[in-house]
Structure 1
Amino acid sequence: MKILALESSSERASVALSIDGDIRERVLVGHANHSEHLLAAIRDLLAAAGLGSSALDAVAFGSGPGAFTGLRLSCGVAQGLALGAGLGVIPVSSLAALALFAPHHQVLVATDARMGEVYHARYRVENGTVTELAPPACSPPSAVPAAGPDYWGLGSAFAAYVTELAAVRAGLIGCDPLAAPTAGNVARLAVQAGSAACLPAEGAFPLYVRDKVALTTAERLARGNKA
């Protein structure tokens, strides 16, 4: 199965190509929200593999939750490529893609949602398979529930909200605040999902979790001016 994967829900955008489980990946440094750089990386990746978009079986993208602009970018590019080549689209949770990096079976993923909030979810990871234990949610860091002593922590929220998440982090086995979702992991999960997870291009959408993009001045002050 040949799947092209895109991930731009965080500041580290990347593209990956999975050919029968063999994954080739390119990371875009400093150009996470620029479509021309994403498209150029896709062209280079396909050219290096000697493939055209019509040779693909599907296009996958990290559907979020994450940065609104990044989600719209990867979703839009995935839809455009899929429509042009007559392919299906596989949306993959960006938090689940991040969870694949966990060195332990159970993981609390928590990423910085900006505006004084955190995207968080809990997963079990076994033999490269990710099972959702608690669905993605968005809340102030003070409302992130403790995961328990048998969990590993991953994600940028642990760096963005050091004080607010100190108690949660103290209860974890370990934590990596620098980990971010990658297109390679999006591709791995898309391969596992297979053709049954393919949607028509026009039916694939980002998972925003939080619909509100901006806060009022009063709300920002109440949440400690985290932007």
Structure 2
Amino acid sequence: MDTALADRLAAVDDRIRDAARAADRDVSGITRIVVTKFHPAALVQDLYALGVRHVGENRQQELTAKRAELVGIPDLTWHFIGQAQTNKARLVRAGADAVHSVDRARIADALHNAAPGDDVLDVLVQVNLTDDPGRGGVAPEEVGALATHVAALDSLRLRGVMAVAPLDEQPGRAFERLRRCADAVRVVVPDADWISAGMTGDFPEAIAMGATHLRIGSAITGPRPPRD
């Protein structure tokens, strides 16, 4: 077993517990997702041996390949956190247990139309917290309308919201806006209480603002391996 990996995981979990305590929150209400982008499937196996049960992927190709390679591992939840494309909706849906990046009605419709039988997929509305309309995510003022659209699709289960904090703003302020968006979603679906926010550099601030799902990569996995 990679002792350095175990040490990094333990250190992050300690920080999560400290941040939860500072925010007067129960750490059991916080899910740590380890983002394994560009790392091999063997790393996911190592993480699983250390107790990790939630992993995240940004790219459909990696999600599909790793899930196929690790098909025999039980109780492993795969989160798709990258930008979804309508032409890859079927493959994303086949590989993911939860999709965090529904940012327009067309993506929601594509995921819904790709449903195999009575399967229900957990999804989150991605919110754009920047002033750049080219960034992924729906504008905060449009969150309620998109949530209403998603909630009407019976093969999707709306779980909450997701966002990435802007680089040019204090993350706590950005996550406070996300929390208001989460309130808007719960007007539509009262039990949609997931807030997917916080990465390696800002997850304590996300916890303080109510994040339930953290997407942490390099602080746990270490540097990404070189790509060919």
Which category describes the TM-score, using the shorter chain as reference length? under 0.3
TM-score by length of 2: 0.28
Higher strand share: 1
